[in-house]
Structure 1
């Protein structure tokens, strides 16, 4: 398979996790009370663990090799500030799709970084693609529940929307592969920008949603998400 097709395949697989998560959320035969409480919170926490793994094991370690401390810190902070600005905008617009926008705001810069990572030889690219899929699955699940509960969209329409959004991954990945292949510092900047935004989202949105009184599985879900990141990192390094 050519490198360009590899980028398309991996970004598409990571994006497909969004409609898969939505399809799982649409299954009504699962016990509704359990689905709305412990499983949903565990899915949020699992996605948060995978996001932290992507930040700690892929995005930051690879990016800081290419940049000096000051620009690295500025790009990282800029990512968090940008995600905060998006958060404030969503609040003022009172949109019913905040989870959807959060999911896409993670997915697109990560896909750019993923395409560029493949251009540099693929070091850490497969791990990043795997962690993107792990985070997109619970994010797709929760975004579906949010849209289904606050809009009149049918199950099929929401899943179709998420399927079309998955195509943004290959578009961003191919762009990163073609335009950023010769610019290691820009790739590092995008990685740190995405990492800062992700870390902001974890503490602003994901961690508060994951907590559930008198239930302990959600916290274990976060641990499992990060654990899979560790295992993937060790396998790719070896």
Structure 2
């Protein structure tokens, strides 16, 4: 059972590193052009749609099943305020790490939930791992570009992504061994992450993905959300 959990969570995490590799290839082997620019922003919107679907279809519903109204409000607002403070701090330093923050805010609680679910319903955990891995790919692609534009070297960024890819395994192990019996705490974590993700989406990621007189970015976000709907329906 432990081997399967490591394999599933490892698959969900490795797409973080793969997204960085694809982004690096895209940056260095495709010439700058309007088409390249449109592809980049469409992928950013696609990732936004998947993050929004994870928030709306997985994190918030699962959290609301376990918590009363006031705990939900507290965790949601706390997540939004905390990440507003972090985002403002990073903005003052001139960094563009909102996409990376949103990805990890999404990835880690879902990995923890996957680990907790694995003890009860392994088949659902497999599908959840596929869903997490699928949404990590475009998010990592956009995060890689943001970090490189912020001044990180390609090598340093890929090293960061390589180690971040293992956070899914760590999260799944924590969920499986420590939080399986603490559903309320897991629910608080999901609602907290939802508040932070929504703040980052509205404040930084969605505005960055918009292009004037171009509608592909909006369709990209819709397609990303549709992927979430399909994943949730399968689950």
Q: Which runs of 5+ in 1 are unaligned?
A: none
Alpha-carbon deviation of 1:125?
4.1
Give the Cα–Cα distance (whole angstroms) in 2 for the partners of residues 96 and 202 of structure 1. Answer: 13
The equivalent residue for 1:82 is 82
Whether the 8 Å CA contact 2:30–2:36 is kept in 1: the answer is no
Report SS of the residue matched to 2:65: coil
Report SS of the residue matched to 2:160: helix
Alpha-carbon deviation of 1:220?
0.6
Report SS of the residue matched to 1:32: coil
Alpha-carbon deviation of 1:35?
6.1
Question: Structure 1 stretch 29-38 or stretch 224-233: which is displaced more?
Answer: 29-38
Count residues in correspondence.
233
Question: Structure 1 stretch 115-124 or stretch 25-34: which is displaced more?
Answer: 115-124
Give the Cα–Cα distance (whole angstroms) in 2 for the partners of residues 35 and 84 of structure 1. Answer: 33
Alignment of 1:1-238 (within 5 A): 2=1, 4-27=2-25, 28-34=28-34, 36-95=36-95, 97-121=97-121, 125-151=125-151, 153=153, 155-236=154-235
Alpha carbons of structure 1 residues 101 and 196: separation in structure 2 relative to 1, 3 Å = closer
Whether the 8 Å CA contact 1:58–1:128 is kept in 2: the answer is no
Q: Which runs of 5+ in 2 are unaligned?
A: none
Deviations 1:127-180 (A, max 9, x none): 543343233212221222233334362x44432331121111111221121111
Whether the 8 Å CA contact 1:106–1:197 is kept in 2: the answer is no
Deviations 1:201-235 (A, max 9, x none): 21112211111012111111111111111112222
Alpha carbons of structure 1 residues 191 and 105: separation in structure 2 relative to 1, 3 Å = closer
TM-score (norm 1): 0.87
Give the Cα–Cα distance (whole angstroms) in 2 for the partners of residues 85 and 126 of structure 1. Answer: 35
Question: Structure 1 stretch 93-102 or stretch 206-215: which is displaced more?
Answer: 93-102
Give the Cα–Cα distance (whole angstroms) in 2 for the partners of residues 115 and 61 of structure 1. Answer: 18
Alpha-carbon deviation of 1:102?
4.0
TM-score (norm 2): 0.88
Report SS of the residue matched to 2:29: coil
Give the Cα–Cα distance (whole angstroms) in 1 for the partners of residues 117 and 192 of structure 2. Answer: 15
Whether the 8 Å CA contact 1:117–1:124 is kept in 2: the answer is yes
Alpha carbons of structure 1 residues 99 and 35: separation in structure 2 relative to 1, 3 Å = farther
Deviations 1:16-53 (A, max 9, x none): 11221111111223242246521111111111111111
